Amino acid sequence: MLPGWHNFLFPLDRRMAALYFALGLFQFAEGLLSIFIPIYFYRSGFTVSKILIFYTLISAYFVALVFIILPLLKKLSNKAMMLWSILPLIGYYLGLGFVLEFPFLFAILPFLLALYMLLFNVGYHLDFSDAVRDGYVGREVGLSYVAVAVAGFLSPLTGGVLIGVFGFQVTFVVGSLILFLAIIPLFFFPSRTLAPDLQLKSLITYLKNRSLFPFNLSGAGYAMEEMVVRISWPLFLFLLINDFEKFGAVISLGVLAGAAVNYLSGLFSDAGRRRKILSLASWASALLWLSRIFLRNAGGAALNHLGRGFANSALLVSWSSQYYKIARALPDPGAFILSRELLYHLARVPFLLILAWLAAVLSLGMFFKVSFFLAALSALLFLAANRFRTENFKLV
């Protein structure tokens, strides 16, 4: 039974409000830029295979960084991680404007983005898992996605207009300036650090844990599908639309489409319907990926993008709710959170290499079809999360 309507909305403490505000600023800045990166490379003369190698380097650097800087991570608080993550991200976006003039940046920029992802993601999830309230996990997760949607739904459209009028380099600078503003709300966070005795062995334990295997499998599916979301689909959609402003508008509408679904999914997840939502949304997402194989025009692609915006929002909120419930049930949530980030990139390296090989040997049209099919299979791996039950989890 659903909670009473008086619990539909609930007051946020200052910490959660600041976290949502910071997340919104990050999302707005990244929404101006990130979705356009594969298109920027493609229009600059890079092959799709080489673009995929760029993203492979990001994940490979990430895995290496976990092993190299773990002693440093244990000394940084969640606040410090998020604050320091902004510098490499700004360097990444500013450097993109010079990658054609200085080709060596092609190998350096993925390192900067990997460093940002490691610092920000671990810091953010560590803070969120500590701040979220028992009994409201789904709604808190839903609100975080709503914050992202509200702050970011106009950013792809704005980015498209800026690129269309001023070009990529000016847009990279504008996004970098906005990132500086994201520093402000971070000062409202209390500090929390990873466990001082955290070892690589702890991370491997979570990756090899038998009872956690179904959830790990769903995490690998998420990681692989996300690469098709970030690379293949934007390229495919842009080539159909062939206009930066219209492309940005479609992406913005997709973000907006999922905004209401985000919070409602969290509400229903807290009411005990998370597994049903995850199951239905997984199948819907997979079917929408498969239907993309047959798309031939911009209008159909835009409608498909909106439909998946609904399905994906419900899917990620219900799945992320389980993620935070697991983290909060553990004596050392930091080790679990870091193991998740490591898992995603370990799954992405071989997957991206396969995609790069496919892009090199197939025609562009056939490559898109195969990548959409692989994304559909990856989406179905979310179903494995329903086979995991937190109450039966044993850390052995």
- pLDDT tens, position by position, 126-184: 665 554 554 444 455 555 556 566 656 667 767 777 777 777 777 777 777 777 776 67
At 183, list the tokens: 């520093």
For the four alpha carbons of 284, 286, 288 and 291, in that order, the dihedral sign comes to negative
Q: What is the pLDDT of residue 6?
A: 39
Q: How far apart are CA 238 and CA 77, in angstroms?
A: 40
Among residues 277, 338, 300, 251, which one has the least CA distance to residue 62? Answer: 338
Specify the DSSP element, H or E, that contains 226. helix 213-227
Gyration radius (Cα) of the chain, Å? 20
Q: What is the pTM of this model?
A: 0.84
| DSSP secondary structure letter of residue 191 | P
Burial class (CB in 10 A: 0-12, 13-18, 19+), 362: middle
Q: What is the pLDDT of residue 96?
A: 87
- pLDDT tens, position by position, 250-307: 877 777 766 666 656 655 555 557 788 888 889 999 999 999 999 989 999 999 988 8
Average pLDDT for 318-340: 78
pLDDT band per the 50, 70, 90 thresholds, residue 352: very high
Q: What is the pLDDT of residue 4?
A: 40
57-71, 102-116, 320-334, 372-386: the lowest-pLDDT one: 320-334
Q: How far apart are CA 224 and CA 188, in angstroms?
A: 34
Residue 105 CA: distances (Å) to CA of 49, 96, 99, 355: 17, 8, 5, 22
More confident residue, 15 or 239: 239
Q: What is the pLDDT of residue 163?
A: 77
For the residues of 257-298, what is the DSSP string, one character each?
HTHHHHHHHHHHIIIIIHHHHHHHHHHHHHHHHHHGGG--SH
Q: What is the pLDDT of residue 186?
A: 65
CB atoms within 10 A of CB 135: 11
Average pLDDT for 5-28: 59
Residue 85 CA: distances (Å) to CA of 80, 160, 274: 8, 25, 32
Q: How far apart are CA 46 and CA 50, in angstroms?
A: 6
Domains of the chain, earliest start first: 15-188+198-392 (1.20.1250.20)
Q: What is the pLDDT of residue 391?
A: 57
Among residues 159, 29, 173, which one has the least CA distance to residue 98? Answer: 173
Residue 104 pLDDT exceeds 90: yes
